[in-house]
């Protein structure tokens, strides 16, 4: 049995058995991870993969699984003790300004700039910054790139906002096409393979010295600045999922 909508999945949830397939992104929101575990335990194939769906919805999970591709000294802070250790490490390294990313917030809403990590500690102590979150050194100069990959389709564009370090095009930023090089495409493909993403919207940080780092990855995202439109991209993604469904179940 192949189910390709969340409505049908919810209606026939108890009928699913090993070997059945669900095509699509689960819409259970806060229950998603629990439902994915149940489907995995029952032998139901989920496409896109449960790992990619988990990573796509959680910046903290991304920093745990994909940290090797992110800027150095990216840490997950899940409690006060972890933050205290990070304060000592950042002070030892001379890292002053930092950025935090709240979990499960998109469009830049959960990204915060701090003049010092002590400011972060004060806000967590006042319970205005919830655990868990990601913390990174603030990078003042880099090129923000959005890369869209679906099978052989690859396109990229820069995002820039002179009045907001978040660079979101939806928040007043501008964009222009960008020609990725082989190393940048390889980084994206490596991240997708590790996270089992069949397709992805990937944000890269290109440093002045030419080094490339992962910022974030998602199964879906904004398209302002992209050549492909929403209908065309959805068609490409659908074809990708259907091809995966036709492949033998991996062991």
Non-local (6+) Cβ contacts of 199 within 8 A are 48, 149, 150, 151, 192, 219, 236, 237, 240
pTM, entire model: 0.92
20 forms beta bridges with none
- Confidence at residue 250, expressed as pLDDT on a 0 to 100 scale: 59
CATH code of 72-137, in short, is 3.30.1490.20
- Confidence at residue 93, expressed as pLDDT on a 0 to 100 scale: 97
Domain extents in the chain = 2-47, 72-137, 143-245
Query: Got the DSSP string for 85-124?
Result: HHHHHHHHHT---EEEEETT--TTTTEEEES-HHHHHHHH
135 forms beta bridges with 75, 100
Lookup: tokens for 209: 């010295």
Per-residue pLDDT of the chain (251 residues; tens, 9 = 90+): 899 888 899 999 999 999 999 999 998 877 888 999 999 999 999 999 999 999 999 999 999 999 999 999 999 999 999 999 999 999 999 999 999 999 988 878 899 999 999 999 999 998 889 999 999 999 999 999 999 999 999 999 999 888 787 877 766 678 899 999 999 999 999 999 999 999 999 999 999 999 999 999 999 998 988 999 999 999 999 999 999 998 776 55
- Confidence at residue 29, expressed as pLDDT on a 0 to 100 scale: 76
How many Å apart are CA 177 and CA 10, to the nearest integer? 41
How many Å apart are CA 156 and CA 39, to the nearest integer? 34
122-141: b (≥16 Cβ within 10 Å) or e:
eebeeeebebbbbbbbeeee
Helices (H), 102-218: 117-125, 182-195
CA dihedral 9, 11, 14, 16 (to 10 degrees): -40
Q: CATH for 143-245, among 3.40.50.300, 3.30.465.10, 3.40.50.720, 3.30.470.20?
A: 3.30.470.20
CB 141 within 8 A of CB 209: no
Q: Closest Cα partner for 177 from 207, 145, 220, 204?
A: 145
- Confidence at residue 170, expressed as pLDDT on a 0 to 100 scale: 67
Q: Closest Cα partner for 41 from 58, 4, 64, 16?
A: 16
């Amino acid at each position: 049995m192949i189910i390709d909508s969340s409505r049908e999945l919810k209606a026939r949830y108890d009928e699913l058995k090993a070997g059945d397939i669900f095509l699509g992104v689960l819409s259970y929101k806060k229950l998603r991870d629990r439902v994915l575990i149940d489907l995995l335990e029952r032998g139901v194939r989920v496409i896109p993969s449960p790992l990619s769906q988990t990573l796509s919805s959680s910046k903290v999970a991304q920093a745990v699984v994909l940290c090797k591709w992110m800027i150095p000294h990216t840490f997950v802070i899940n409690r006060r003790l972890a933050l205290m250790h990070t304060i000592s490490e950042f002070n030892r390294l001379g890292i002053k300004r930092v950025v935090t990313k709240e979990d499960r917030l998109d469009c830049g809403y959960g990204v915060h700039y701090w003049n010092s990590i002590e400011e972060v500690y004060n806000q967590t102590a006042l319970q205005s910054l919830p655990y868990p979150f990601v913390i990174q050194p603030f990078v003042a100069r880099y090129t923000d790139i959005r890369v869209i990959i679906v099978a052989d389709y690859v396109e990229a564009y820069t995002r820039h906002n002179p009045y907001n370090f978040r660079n979101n095009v939806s928040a007043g930023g501008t964009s222009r096409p960008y020609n990725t090089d082989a190393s940048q495409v390889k980084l994206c493909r490596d991240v997708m393979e590790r996270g089992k993403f069949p397709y992805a919207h990937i944000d890269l940080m290109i440093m002045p010295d030419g080094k490339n780092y992962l910022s974030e990855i998602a199964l879906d995202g904004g398209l302002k600045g992209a050549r492909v439109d929403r209908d065309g991209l959805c068609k490409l993604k659908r074809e990708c999922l259907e091809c995966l469904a036709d492949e033998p179940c991996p062991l």
